[in-house]
Amino acid sequence: MPSSKPVYNADGSYNYAFTLFGSTPSTTLAYIAVAIFLVATGAHLVQLIRHRTTYMVPALLGALFEAIGYGIRIKSIHDPFNTDVYGVQQLFIVVAPVLVAASQYVILGEIMECVNPRLAPVRPNLVAKIFVSSDVVSFVVQAAGAALLIVDAATYLHTAAHIIVAGLAVQIASFAAFLLLAAVYYVRARRPPPNSAAAHDTSSPDAAAHVHPRWPLLYAVLATGAIAVLLRCMYRIVSFGASLSLGENYAYGFDALPMALALFAMVFVHPGFYLGRRSKKPAVGADLELQ
């Protein structure tokens, strides 16, 4: 059980077994995580300015939140019995994936709008609204749980963990629905029904002019990033369900690493390059070759 007062080893060092960390954490890993997410933040900023893709701002903020979170983790390692600092680092790390997911939702809507919106199971302009609304609920619930850790982690540890798990469950359900929607659209777009208006509409040739013919690569990266975030959320449910008792290596392997992969995937295969800049939304993506 975490202690609210410092507990020391015989050599005078902190006894991390009585902290929310559960075992001695690594400052080296935390510094590496900060460096990686700062690079991701800078890379996203460059791409955002270059392609003027304002819908990627949430992903940029997600990378920045990860860097801040792990930076505060370093502070927490040096002051492990300060539960306020621990709670703040958890808040930033927990919230960051919600921001990254928001950009992924918008990217799917942009792909649908550019390629062929008539094949979309849901109107493209509603995709982000639906899933971001769900994530707002998830964000509020998770933030409430993290806030309890800040107020009094020793007292509200289990309650906070259960609240955060509830928020993560909402996020997982939302992400599962998002992946299903993405899969359905991809199948339809790659195999448009013959002799259908959706497959042969040519009312907006300007739409195709903005789309790179290798847009399926962007789709693959989007799906990979979404699955990475989903796995991260599943890990978090296991972690908080175990009252934060899992080892630090698992945290970096199943939390930090998936987020880094999702963020850098969107840097190297940036939607601004594959979808271009659109001053107005086209009606349909007509002459796009889907082979």
CB 11 within 8 A of CB 28: no
Please report the pLDDT score of residue 208 as a whole number.
Answer: 46
pTM beyond 0.75: the answer is yes
Say what the pLDDT of residue 204 is: 43
Judged against a pLDDT cut of 70, whether residue 54 lies above it is answered with: yes
Residue 23: other Cβ atoms inside 10 A? 12
pLDDT digits (tens, 9 = 90+) for 29-40: 999 999 999 999
Any bridge partners for residue 8, and if so which?
14
Would you list the DSSP string of the chain?
Answer: ---SS--B-TTS-B-GGGSTT-S---HHHHHHHHHHHHHHHHHHHHHHHHHT-GGGHHHHHHHHHHHHHHHHHHHHHHSTT-HHHHHHHHHHHHHHHHHHHHHHHHHHHHHHHHH-GGG-SS-HHHHHHHHHHHHHHHHHHHHHHHHHHHHHHHHHHHHHHHHHHHHHHHHHHHHHHHHHHHHHHHHHHHSPPTT-HHHH--S-HHHHHTS-TTHHHHHHHHHHHHHHHHHHHHHHHHHHHTTT-S-HHHHIIIIIHHHHHHHHHHHHT-HHHHH---SS--S---S----
**Per-residue model confidence as pLDDT tens digits over 213-237:** 788 888 888 888 888 888 888 888 8
Rounded alpha-carbon distances, angstroms, from residue 290 to 49, 71, 184, 287: 29, 44, 15, 9
- Pick 191 or 69 by higher pLDDT: 69
Whether residue 198 contacts residue 118, with contact meaning beta carbons closer than 8 Å, is answered with: yes
pLDDT computed for residue 161 by the predictor: 82
Nearest-angstrom CA–CA distance, 65 and 224? 21
User: Per residue in 66-114, pLDDT tens?
Assistant: 999 999 999 999 999 988 898 899 889 988 988 999 999 999 999 998 8
By CB atoms closer than 10 A (0-12, 13-18, 19+), residue 2 is buried
pLDDT at residue number 256: 94
At 239 the pLDDT is 78
> Which pLDDT tens digit goes with each residue over 237-279?
887 766 555 678 888 999 999 999 999 999 999 998 888 655 3
- Residues 133-190 have pLDDT tens digits of 998 898 888 888 878 877 776 677 788 888 888 888 898 898 899 999 999 999 998 8
